[in-house]
Structure 1
């Protein structure tokens, strides 16, 4: 895991008042450009109203009368003045109301946002200020001066806390500045801006929200819990008398020739067709010791009934 990035915390005058760490899990991950493109396109599509509509020749008013007779005029035959080739006629293959929204999983949106923020952070375009202005009076002029002390780039994304009404009110009237609350930060606005400016409180809220642990696969967790622990190398008699763990290099201890596989609880004798391809997790001296430990022969042992059935088939 990469080390956390450290950025300076600036006061409204542009002077350093401290420093803060940007978690590498959020601000220093690999940027997946195709994923960012997919998420941004989906976000733009979700903003479309989708109520566009044109009328076909069946929906346009009028046109019920045949304009002229079928034959004898020398003109092309026509059935309605509302056909698409006439002025005032219907539209062919025009737009109809539809839903443009695309399903985007939460994990994809979160990964795209981390990639966008990481791209900005690695290029020194993520800034943190202690506050946007001093005092208890809203002032767009003061916020403009604060932002100019932080960055000289044109388009800025300012992130404030939910309860920072003063900062949001003072920033929202700046034409090239977009203001969001910490829980509204999204990939599209990060990519649209040149720099991202967090207030110290907003950064704390955003990191706390973004680092929520997502649930892992229940199947993988259950499988890992159910898997029996392999015997440690050099352990004596892990499955009773006549058993031994492999040596450090995986070789068999002296006098042990039966390979045991702990996952399948089967053993392989030297004449087994899978003997050479099987990695021994436990070794046995003989078949009796393996069977006593609960292992079964990987090669089905022929029984008297099997022999009789084979004789009858002949």
Structure 2
């Protein structure tokens, strides 16, 4: 079982520790399942609106360009055939859906595999709670520095934490999602995943072990 330090986002100091659920963060990553689920996620993002016109959709070509025999030229029934300039496209793309059906068990396994991979690399950060009195980007930058969260950061926050969402909104390297939106792709493309105790995924209620009391200046808790 992996134990992660719970930190104060304002100072980065330890406020306790929490055991990560081994069924979520401690399994052997299934690379095949992660690849299939991520491929399906990216395919579902495609709009599928590309379209070409066939010979029946292009303009013109209503009459036979010349008679069938006697001209020495090839036989043609319309100037809108694919071999003509300005004609229709043969076997061109049409609007369609690129969505792939992915079983829910595979989606859950891919997410647990991705989280286990990040936990194994010590890229999972847990904070006790956010302390933003008002939305402020400067405070969000300071919090990331205190937590030593570098690179692309995936931050999981509750939807009702308005100050958190607005504080991190202007940081291009931070991607915010709610707990119910957590997915394998966002985890895998991120260098660091930041949770709070409330958003930490678990199959059972998390038990927090109180660490050594640390006096944090400016801590409003």
Structure-2 residue corresponding to 1:129: 127
Q: Runs of 5+ in structure 1 lacking a partner? A: 213-314
Q: Could you list the per-position Cα deviations for residues 73-131 of structure 1 after superposition, in whole angstroms to 9, with x for gaps in the alignment?
A: 44333221111122221111111222222221211111110000000001100001223
Question: Which stretch of structure 1 is more off in the superposition, 47-56 or 137-146?
Answer: 47-56
Taking structure 1 as the reference length, the TM-score comes to 0.61
CA contact (8 A) 2:149 2:192 kept: no
Paired residue secondary structure (1:196): strand
Counterparts in 2 of 1:211 and 1:112: CA distance versus 1, 3 Å:
farther
Q: Runs of 5+ in structure 2 lacking a partner? A: 206-221
Structure-2 residue corresponding to 1:169: 166
Paired residue secondary structure (2:188): helix
Number of aligned residues: 204
Moved over 6 A (4+): none
Q: Could you list the per-position Cα deviations for residues 207-254 of structure 1 after superposition, in whole angstroms to 9, with x for gaps in the alignment?
A: 2xx559xxxxxxxxxxxxxxxxxxxxxxxxxxxxxxxxxxxxxxxxxx
Paired residue secondary structure (1:100): coil
Structure-2 residue corresponding to 1:275: none
Structure-2 residue corresponding to 1:219: none
Q: Could you list the per-position Cα deviations for residues 272-303 of structure 1 after superposition, in whole angstroms to 9, with x for gaps in the alignment?
A: xxxxxxxxxxxxxxxxxxxxxxxxxxxxxxxx
2:36 is the counterpart of 1:38: yes
Structure-1 residue corresponding to 2:101: 103
Match of 1:58 among 47, 56, 59: 56
CA contact (8 A) 2:132 2:163 kept: no
Higher relative contact order (CA 8 A, sep 6+): 2
Taking structure 2 as the reference length, the TM-score comes to 0.85
Alignment of structure 1 residues 11-26 onto 2, 5 Å: 11=8, 12-26=10-24
Alignment of structure 1 residues 1-314 onto 2, 5 Å: 4-11=1-8, 12-132=10-130, 134-203=131-200, 206-207=201-202, 210=203
CA RMSD of aligned residues (A): 1.8
